[in-house]
C-alpha cells in the first residue's frame, strides 16, 4: 500500500474561524487542516515527489486576528467520500475556534477559487467615542474621493498604494455609545487586498479597539 496520489474527488468546505483560532496564520491553518483531515481519516490525495504533502487550497488567507464565517478550502481526495456526511465528520475533529459550515463537491478541474477571488465583505466593529453620524460621514467622504494615496507598513517595510482601488463599498450599520458596526466590501485577491484598519486610518477614524469579522468571499463565478 502506498500513498494516494490520484485525485478522484474535490470537495469545497466552508468554515468559520473564531477565538482562539483567529490568531493562526495561513501557514498554521494549512498544517492544522492537514492534521484535522488525518484525524478524520479522510482519504487525502498527496502530491508526488520528494516531499509529499496533502493537496489543499484555500480561497484566501484570513489575516491574523480576524474572525470569519465564510473561509473556503478545497480538499483533493484519492477516494470518494459521502460529502453530506463530511461536515459532521470534520466538526468532530476540529480544534476550538473552527466551525464547519458546509461541504460541497466541485469539479476536479474547476479553477482554483484563489485565482477568481475579487472581494470580501467585512463586518467591522470599532470601539470609539466618535459619534455615529461622524463615522458615517467620514466613510461616505472616503467613497466620494477618486484617489486615496496611502502608505502602509507591512513586516517593517513601507508600501505605497492606491487605497481607493481597494474599496468597493463602505457603510455605517449600527452602534451604541461604545461600539459601532461598519460594513466594508474591499478588494481581495492576488492583485492586492484591502484592510479594514487601513480604511479607518484613511478616514481618520480613531478607535481604542477593533474587531474584524469576514462575512462573505466574492469571486467570479466561472467554471473551467
33, 100, 17, 101: which is closest to 66 by C-alpha? 17
**Is there binding between residue 158 and another protein (CB under 8 A)?**
no
Identified binder of another protein from the candidate list 8, 46, 193, 215, rule CB under 8 A? 46
**Is there binding between residue 192 and another protein (CB under 8 A)?**
no
- Cell numbers 482562539: residue: 20
Binding piece for another protein, criterion CB under 8 A, among 43-51, 128-136, 146-154, 162-170? 43-51
Q: Nearest approach, Cβ of 28 to another protein (angstroms)?
A: 5
Bridge-based pairing of strands 209-219 and 67-77 is parallel
Compute how many residues bind another protein; rule: CB under 8 A. 32
**Is there binding between residue 224 and another protein (CB under 8 A)?**
no
**Is there binding between residue 27 and another protein (CB under 8 A)?**
yes
Identified binder of another protein from the candidate list 6, 26, 28, 112, rule CB under 8 A? 28
Identified binder of another protein from the candidate list 9, 57, 91, 93, rule CB under 8 A? 93
Q: Nearest approach, Cβ of 20 to another protein (angstroms)?
A: 4
**Is there binding between residue 58 and another protein (CB under 8 A)?**
no
Identified binder of another protein from the candidate list 20, 149, 171, 192, rule CB under 8 A? 20
Q: Mind giving me the DSSP string for the chain? A: -----S--EEEEEEEEE-TTGGG--HHHHHHHHHHHHHHTT--B-B--SSS--B-EEESSPPPTT-EEEEEEEEEEESS---GGGHHHHHHHHPPTTEEEEEEEEE-TTSPPHHHHEEEEEEEEEEE-SS-HHHHHHHHHHHHH-S--EEEEEETTEEEEEEGGGGEEEEEEEEE-SSEEEEEEEEE-STT----HHHHHHHTT---SEEEEEEEEEEE-----
- Chain-centre distance of CA 179, in angstroms? 23
Q: Nearest approach, Cβ of 12 to another protein (angstroms)?
A: 21
Binding piece for another protein, criterion CB under 8 A, among 16-24, 118-126, 133-141, 167-175? 16-24
**Is there binding between residue 19 and another protein (CB under 8 A)?**
yes
Closest to another protein by CB, 109 vs 156, is: 156
Chain contacts with another protein (rule: CB under 8 A) = 1-3, 19-21, 23-25, 27-28, 31-32, 34-39, 46, 50-52, 64-65, 93, 95-97, 209-211
Amino acid at each position: 500500500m502506498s500513498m494516494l496520489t490520484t485525485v478522484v474527488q474535490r470537495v469545497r468546505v466552508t468554515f468559520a474561524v473564531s477565538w482562539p483560532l483567529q490568531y493562526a496564520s495561513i501557514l498554521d491553518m494549512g498544517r492544522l487542516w492537514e492534521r484535522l483531515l488525518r484525524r478524520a481519516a479522510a482519504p487525502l490525495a498527496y502530491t508526488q515527489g520528494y516531499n509529499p504533502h496533502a493537496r489543499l487550497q484555500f480561497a484566501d488567507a484570513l489575516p491574523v486576528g480576524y474572525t470569519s464565517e465564510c473561509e473556503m478550502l478545497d480538499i483533493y481526495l484519492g477516494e470518494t467520500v459521502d460529502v453530506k456526511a463530511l461536515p459532521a465528520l470534520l466538526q468532530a475533529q476540529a480544534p476550538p475556534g473552527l466551525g464547519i459550515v458546509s461541504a460541497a463537491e466541485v469539479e476536479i478541474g474547476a479553477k482554483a477559487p484563489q485565482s477568481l477571488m475579487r472581494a470580501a465583505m467585512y463586518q467591522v466593529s470599532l470601539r470609539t467615542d466618535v459619534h455615529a453620524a461622524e463615522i458615517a460621514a467620514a466613510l461616505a467622504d472616503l467613497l466620494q474621493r477618486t484617489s486615496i494615496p496611502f502608505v502602509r507598513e507591512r513586516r517593517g517595510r513601507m508600501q505605497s498604494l492606491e487605497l481607493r482601488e481597494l474599496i468597493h463599498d463602505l457603510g455605517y450599520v449600527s452602534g451604541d455609545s461604545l461600539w459601532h458596526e461598519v460594513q466594508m466590501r474591499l478588494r481581495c485577491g492576488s492583485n492586492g487586498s484591502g484592510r479594514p484598519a487601513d480604511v479607518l486610518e484613511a478616514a481618520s477614524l480613531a478607535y481604542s479597539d477593533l474587531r474584524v469579522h469576514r462575512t462573505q468571499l466574492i469571486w467570479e463565478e466561472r467554471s473551467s
